[in-house]
């Protein structure tokens, strides 16, 4: 896979985008602790599943044999991130998440979207080279 800082990436754990996904998942778990119990099988479950899916898909894709497979899993991560952002908006509208927590959440989602989009593009370029 691509080098991060001039060194070969040996594991998905070396990827900054994976680490940022882990950071976001931990944040989601932290934020959802304060949600009403009635949301246990609703928003809490959906938010947590979508958040965990982002770094999990990065890890699984990185472990695949071919770049195009990795790219497909990056797109799965982007889809999970879009789902997570939609759920974040609902949680904010329901006043389960307040500012500045919502702003932090939103900025992490935006940052990850940019990172994943760049990663997918770079994986696609290598297939054409």
CATH number for 13-128 (one of 2.40.400.10, 1.20.1440.60, 1.10.357.10, 2.40.10.10): it is 1.20.1440.60
CA distance 4 to 14: 8
Structure letter (DSSP) for residue 12: G
Domain ranges in the chain are 13-128
Q: What's the pTM?
A: 0.89
Q: 105: which 2 tokens?
A: 């959440």
How many other C-beta atoms are found inside a 10 Å radius of the C-beta of residue 103? 12
Instruction: Answer yes or no: is pLDDT of 40 > 70.
Output: yes
pLDDT tens digits for 2-38? 434 345 778 999 999 999 999 999 999 999 999 999 9
Q: 90: which 2 tokens?
A: 């609902």
Q: Pick the residue with more confidence: 63 or 126?
A: 63
């Amino acid at each position: 896979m691509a080098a991060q800082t001039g060194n070969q990436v040996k594991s998905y754990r070396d990827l900054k985008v994976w680490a940022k996904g882990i950071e976001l998942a931990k944040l989601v778990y932290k934020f959802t602790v304060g949600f009403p119990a009635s949301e246990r099988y609703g928003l809490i479950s959906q938010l947590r599943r979508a958040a965990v899916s982002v770094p999990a898909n990065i890890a699984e894709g990185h472990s695949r044999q071919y770049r195009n497979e990795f790219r497909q899993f990056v797109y799965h991560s982007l889809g999970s991130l879009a789902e997570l952002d939609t759920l974040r908006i609902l949680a904010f509208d329901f006043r389960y998440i307040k500012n500045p927590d919502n702003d932090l959440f939103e900025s992490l989602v935006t940052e990850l979207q940019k990172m994943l989009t760049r990663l997918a593009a770079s994986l696609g370029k290598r297939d054409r080279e």
